[in-house]
Amino acid sequence: MVEIRGIEFQANTDNDMGIEFYNLSHRFGFQCPNWPYFKDVQIDRKHYMAKSGVLSQTITTTMHVTTHIDAPAHVVQGTPFIDEVPLPHFFGSGLVVSIPKKKWEPITAEDLEKACGHAIRPGDVLIINTGWHKEYEDGDYFAYCPGLVKSAGEWMVERGIKVVGHDTQANDHPLATAIGPQRNGPIMPHLEQEYYEWSGGRDWKDDFPEWEPVHNVLFNNGILGIENVGGDLDAVTGKRCTFAFFPWNWDRGDGCIIRLVAMIDKGQKYRIEAGEAF
């Protein structure tokens, strides 16, 4: 048991069920890191103890902040909204793999095959640890993250992945989004010269000719993506876990902030109820 503000709760890794729970989500709240042109999260206390004897808050936010899951409709017109995705898609077993990456480095099919090709199963949840969850803050994280490239998305389709999560800013390399030369970008035009110098003289339009290709590959094949994974990610890296990450039942939702949780049952004693009458 653990005591929090005078109240006892079952601990994450020492509880009556014998299941270890690991939080893989970043915090959500005032001044949490945000995508470069998004409006900041706003939280107002409508009622508070001195005023009303209760606490009640209102929130204004995009759903594409902190740890969240995209619905296919976020990028691909005519595909399912978050409330239309079947519930089993938000629960399942899978792997947490280590693929260390530096600034702007791609996450490729070759990387995935090397990291987990021998262990991946059809229907798995795949969580990728690049090390960038340690860089998650209001600043360079969004502009300089490594990122998935198209071959990685195609590998996931071939291997039958159900959901992919990663500790980077988007389901694509940042320069394949509006941060770079795509769609309504570049929203950070100074990166063009920086990329030219970093790449040894390459034009970012040549290296990133498609708008969000990984989003499109994944979403057109029913694979959802969890962005900005964090928390206790290192504690479960290299392990097979069970994951839960249910979104709101939001009508026509384009995505949703989630609490991504990894669970491990070392004793193999806990089971889902059979639904018997009582």
DSSP states along 166-225? ESSSSSS-GGGSTTTTSTT--SSTTHHHHHHHHTTS--HHHH--SSSHHHHHHHTTT-EE
User: Looking at the domain assignment, is residue 172 inside a domain?
Assistant: yes
Give the residue numbers spanning the domain of 257. Answer: 21-26+62-264
Contact 254, 70 (CB under 8 A): yes
User: Looking at the domain assignment, is residue 190 inside a domain?
Assistant: yes
Distance CA 117, CA 132 (A): 22
- Residue 260 is predicted with a pLDDT of 98
Number of domains the chain is built from: 1
Angle, CA of 201, 137 and 30, to the nearest 5°: 140
- Residue 219 is predicted with a pLDDT of 98
Distance CA 263, CA 267 (A): 12
- Residue 126 is predicted with a pLDDT of 98
Contact 152, 161 (CB under 8 A): no
User: Looking at the domain assignment, is residue 34 inside a domain?
Assistant: no
Give the contacts of 223 (CB within 8 A, at least 6 positions apart): 153, 156, 157, 161, 162, 163, 164
Contact 123, 160 (CB under 8 A): yes
CATH code (residue 135): 3.50.30.50
Identify the segments of the chain with pLDDT beneath 50.
Answer: none
User: Looking at the domain assignment, is residue 89 inside a domain?
Assistant: yes
User: Looking at the domain assignment, is residue 14 inside a domain?
Assistant: no
- Residue 275 is predicted with a pLDDT of 87
User: Looking at the domain assignment, is residue 169 inside a domain?
Assistant: yes
- Residue 63 is predicted with a pLDDT of 96
User: Looking at the domain assignment, is residue 74 inside a domain?
Assistant: yes
pLDDT tens-digit series, residues 212-244: 999 999 999 999 999 999 999 999 999 999 999
**What's the pTM value of the predicted model, to 2 decimals?**
0.96
User: Looking at the domain assignment, is residue 273 inside a domain?
Assistant: no
Provide the angle, in degrees to the nearest 10, between the axes of the packed helices 150-159 and 109-116. Answer: 40
| SS3 category, 82 | helix
CA separation, residue 60 to residues 44, 57, 250, 257 (Å): 9, 10, 15, 13
